[in-house]
Amino acid sequence: MNAGFVDQRQVARRFARAADTYERGDFFAREIDRRMQERLDYVNLKPGRIVDLGCSRGGSFAGLGARYPEAELLGLDLAPAMLRIQAARPSGWQRWLGLGKRNGPLRLAADATQLPLAAQSAGLLWSNLLLHWLDDPLPALAEAHRVLETDGLLMFSTLGPDTLRELRAAFADGYAHTQRFIDMHDFGDMLVGCGFADPVMDMEVITLTYDDVDSLFAELRAAGSSCAMKARRHGLSGRQGWLAARAAYEAMRRDGKLPATFEVIYGHAWKAAPNKLPDGRAIVRFERPPKH
């Protein structure tokens, strides 16, 4: 996969800028978090440490903390501003769980592709809507595999290629107006390539509706979710081009509303016991026969 598509500095700037407004735009992330948490109902896991990769302001902490009260919770995010606001202004549920206190979740500014964590130091690695902001998800998945202990679980959500298809179709100027989204099957291949066992992938399409295009853009900005591709337009759009894009989007109006499609990909996989030593020699395991 070619590198250099995503402007990572712009990603960091967008989310830092959105730190103060994030609660007004993150309802979609919270809904996907809720659906991910429901999937944990079918998982038998008792992690000693949970790493929330791309935690933003800690929206997943409540559910994870309630489900695994004995686990240490560590939140990592690229934007320090998100971490500072979450720590400084704990909400009601955070105070109730003790998450705004000194013994609450640890928070660390870090790059998902270079985690400052020891190998085999986490039982659950959780990531909600992060991977599509990376230039290449493969290094982050490899780091997740390294950090997880044997029999540890990676659970993530991200966005697929049909996301914001209406917005892309409305513009015909040759610039990127959304992130580059990767197909669900490619993620499955990446997980296997990183050494994960039994990857499970599924997808659903969610359509949000808006009164006008400005409301969509305002919501994306509030959540830090504006396009951060290097191929985006770096200056202002021309008046005629902008009017043409608005008219093209208006033509998609149905039942008085403008649709915005989101293809949500869910994935989870386990870190199995290694079958090779670091030098490449195979590991052969012998089990003792049961005593009668």
pLDDT tier at 101, thresholds 50, 70, 90? very low
Is 106 within 8 Å of 44 (Cβ atoms)? no
For position 96, what pLDDT does the model report? 38
Is 266 within 8 Å of 203 (Cβ atoms)? yes
pLDDT tier at 34, thresholds 50, 70, 90? very high
For position 233, what pLDDT does the model report? 81
pLDDT tier at 283, thresholds 50, 70, 90? low
pLDDT, tens digit, 9 for 90 and up, residues 119-136: 999 999 999 999 999 999
Higher pLDDT, 128 or 89: 128
For position 280, what pLDDT does the model report? 59
For position 193, what pLDDT does the model report? 96
For position 88, what pLDDT does the model report? 46
Cα–Cα nearest to 71, from 102, 106, 95: 106
Q: What is the mean pLDDT of residues 5-24?
A: 88
One-letter amino acid at 76 equals L
HEC string of the chain? CCCCCECHHHHHHHHHHCCCCHHHHCHHHHHHHHHHHHHHHHCCCCCCEEEEECCCCCCCHHHHHHHCCCCEEEEEECCHHHHHHHHHCCCHHHHHHCCCCCCCCEEEECECCECCCCCCCEEEEEEECCHHHCCCHHHHHHHHHHHEEEEEEEEEEEECCCCCHHHHHHCCCCCECCCCCCCHHHHHHHHHHCCEEEEEEEEEEEEEEECCHHHHHHHHHHCCCCCCECCECCCCCCHHHHHHHHHHHHCCCECCEEEEEEEEEEEEEEECCCCECCCCCECCCCCCCCCC
For position 24, what pLDDT does the model report? 79
Task: Give first-to-last CA distance, the chain, whole Å.
Answer: 55
pLDDT exceeds cutoff 90 at 2: no
What pTM did the predictor assign? 0.85
For position 214, what pLDDT does the model report? 94
Q: For 40-44, 101-105, 197-201, which range has the lowest pLDDT when averaged over its residues? A: 101-105
Tokens 């595999």 found at:
145
For position 289, what pLDDT does the model report? 63
pLDDT exceeds cutoff 70 at 200: yes
Q: What is the mean pLDDT of residues 26-34?
A: 95
pLDDT tier at 262, thresholds 50, 70, 90? very high
Mean pLDDT (the chain, rounded): 87
Residues 6+ apart with CB under 8 A from 48: 70, 71, 72, 123
For position 290, what pLDDT does the model report? 65
Task: Take residue 91 and report the two structure tokens written for it.
Answer: 């909400």
**What is the distance between the alpha carbons of residues 152 and 45, in angstroms, rounded to a whole number?**
8
pLDDT, tens digit, 9 for 90 and up, residues 211-260: 999 999 999 999 999 888 998 887 656 678 889 999 999 999 999 999 99
Instruction: Please state the CATH superfamily assignment of the domain spanning residues 8-159+182-205+263-271 in this structure.
Output: Vaccinia Virus protein VP39 (3.40.50.150)
For position 99, what pLDDT does the model report? 41
pLDDT exceeds cutoff 60 at 91: no
